[in-house]
């Protein structure tokens, strides 16, 4: 009996252990299910923008040039016997004003000689004509109706007429040489540089000064292909000058910023082969006059200026910060559901700080101006509270 109990004891222990394990397994409460933590929305900074009409302003720059600039040269040889006070670098002169004079004595003597030759040729012609008339009368008295040219002195008459014409031409040239001893310019201008002085001998075609006109100044303004598209500027010859495009020139003089009014009058004949730009020419009338501001300095030749050209009037465009324009000409918008919308736009103009774009629907839009590390369309975003009056570009027309 005792051996039977010993045999049953392991079985009883196993049964008790199984019962304990089963109790613990069935008695443990089920695990609580937890909702995944909601992903926090990324905060962004936005600006309120509204497409509307805008007049584009094209920005470029150039250097002031004279409309007319020439080298004043001597047409006759001789010694410079007098110069005017205006014949200095920077001197102003009037139209047809004598700037310097070359010794005229030799040329006045040539005029006297030419007059004597003219008188001699006139005398010879008169004598020959008289002889021709006498020969013709004698031939008729002989009863003949015709005579040869030599008897009638026709060759001698033609030679006398040619000699008189040559003598008169020599007289005209001598008189012109006397006038050429006085050097002047057919426009009001300014002396840029002089090359001769009082007492110096000059030869024909020798430069004596470089001068330029002051009635009108011009500025060559480089324009890219994109900028040309923003201007109401025709490249056809039949339409040149039909429209005057206003230009504002800005420059610095005497430590202050000034501006002058100009107009775009033409484009140059060809595209620059190296820079691939087209040069437009702005004209400034009376650059040395004060205008409405008597303290404003003149627009001097060689001065560097910035130019603002009034361009076309565009519809439904908006000006945004340059940094808000993203890669591949896209912008980021915050939707009413606080999600990201990546919108492709057309860039009408770039400046150093802004970009003018089109392609946004009418109405107000939340433009995202802050950065997003990994932008994905429809991602959740959070905009800060908007400050009153934070509107970037109201739909008004900007005039330049």
Predicted local distance difference test score (pLDDT) of residue 37: 46
Predicted local distance difference test score (pLDDT) of residue 167: 92
Reported as type and span, the H/E element at residue 250 is: strand 245-253
β-strands 346-350, 354-358: how paired?
A: antiparallel
For residues 132 and 119, the answer to whether their CB atoms sit within 8 Å is: no
For residues 201 and 57, the answer to whether their CB atoms sit within 8 Å is: no
Q: 105-141 vs 154-180: helix axis angle to the nearest 10?
A: 170
- pTM recorded for the entire structure: 0.69
Predicted local distance difference test score (pLDDT) of residue 272: 86
For residues 69 and 389, the answer to whether their CB atoms sit within 8 Å is: no
- SS3 at position 177: helix
In the chain, alpha helices (H): 2-27, 105-141, 154-180, 225-230
Distances (CA, A) of 115 to 65, 104, 160, 164, 371: 46, 17, 16, 11, 92
For residues 335 and 344, the answer to whether their CB atoms sit within 8 Å is: no
β-strands 304-321, 381-382: how paired?
A: unpaired
Q: Hey, what are 340's tokens?
A: 């990201």
Distances (CA, A) of 64 to 131, 243, 307: 70, 22, 11
Q: Hey, what are 208's tokens?
A: 């004596």
Question: Cα(372)–Cα(332) distance, rounded to whole angstroms?
Answer: 10
Quick one: 40-67+215-400 is in which CATH superfamily? Efflux pump adaptor protein, beta barrel domain (2.40.30.170)
Of 333, 327, 355, 331, nearest in space to 345 by CA: 331
Question: Cα(383)–Cα(396) distance, rounded to whole angstroms?
Answer: 26
How far from each other are the two terminal CA atoms of the chain, in whole angstroms? 121
CA 68-74-75 angle, to 5 degrees, is 105
Residue count (the chain): 400
Return the residue matching tokens 């005792």: 2
Give, for all 400 residues of the chain, the pLDDT tens digit: 455 555 666 667 666 766 666 666 665 566 555 554 445 788 899 999 999 998 888 999 999 999 999 999 999 999 999 999 999 999 999 999 999 999 999 999 999 999 999 999 999 988 888 887 877 776 766 655 555 666 667 888 888 889 999 999 999 999 999 999 999 999 999 999 999 999 999 999 999 999 999 999 999 999 998 888 888 776 665 455 556 789 999 998 888 899 999 999 888 888 888 889 999 999 999 888 765 667 788 889 999 999 999 988 888 999 999 999 999 999 999 999 889 999 999 998 888 888 999 999 989 999 999 989 889 998 999 877 654 434 444 433 333 3
Q: Does domain 69-102+186-213 have CATH number 3.40.50.300?
A: no
């Amino acid at each position: 009996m005792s051996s039977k109990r010993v045999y049953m004891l392991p079985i009883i222990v196993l049964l008790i252990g199984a019962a304990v394990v089963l109790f613990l397994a069935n008695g443990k409460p089920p695990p609580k299910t937890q909702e995944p933590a909601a992903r926090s929305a990324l905060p962004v900074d936005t600006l309120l923008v509204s497409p509307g009409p805008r007049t584009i302003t094209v920005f470029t720059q150039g250097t002031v040039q004279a409309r007319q600039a020439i080298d004043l040269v001597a047409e006759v040889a001789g010694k410079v016997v007098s110069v005017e006070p205006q014949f200095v670098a920077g001197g102003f002169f009037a139209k047809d004003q004598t700037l310097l004079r070359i010794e005229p004595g030799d040329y006045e003597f040539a005029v006297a000689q030419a007059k004597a030759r003219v008188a001699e040729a006139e005398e010879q012609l008169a004598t020959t004509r008289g002889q021709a008339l006498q020969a013709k009368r004698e031939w008729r008295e002989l009863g003949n109706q015709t005579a040869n040219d030599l008897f009638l002195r026709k060759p001698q008459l033609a030679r006398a007429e040619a000699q008189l014409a040559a003598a008169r031409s020599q007289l005209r040239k001598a008189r012109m040489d006397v006038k050429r001893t006085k050097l002047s310019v057919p426009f009001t201008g300014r002396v840029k540089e002089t090359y001769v002085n009082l007492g110096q001998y000059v030869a024909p075609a020798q430069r004596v000064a470089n001068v330029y006109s002051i009635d009108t100044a011009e500025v060559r303004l480089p324009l890219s292909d994109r900028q040309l598209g923003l201007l109401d500027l025709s490249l056809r010859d039949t339409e040149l000058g039909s429209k005057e495009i206003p230009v504002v020139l800005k420059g610095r003089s005497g430590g202050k910023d000034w501006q002058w009014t100009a107009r775009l009058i033409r484009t140059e004949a060809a595209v620059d082969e190296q820079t691939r730009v087209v040069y437009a020419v702005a004209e400034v009338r009376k650059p040395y006059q004060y205008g409405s501001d008597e303290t404003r300095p003149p627009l001097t030749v060689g001065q560097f200026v910035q130019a603002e050209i009034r361009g076309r009037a565009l519809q439904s465009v908006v000006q945004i910060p340059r940094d808000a324009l993203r890669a591949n000409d896209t912008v980021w918008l915050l939707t009413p559901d606080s999600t990201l919308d990546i919108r492709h736009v057309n860039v009408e103009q770039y400046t150093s700080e802004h970009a003018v774009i089109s392609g946004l629907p009418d109405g107000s839009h939340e433009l995202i101006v802050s950065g997003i590390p990994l932008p994905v369309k429809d991602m959740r975003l959070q905009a800060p509270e908007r400050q009153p009056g934070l509107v970037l570009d109201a739909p008004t027309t900007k005039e330049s």
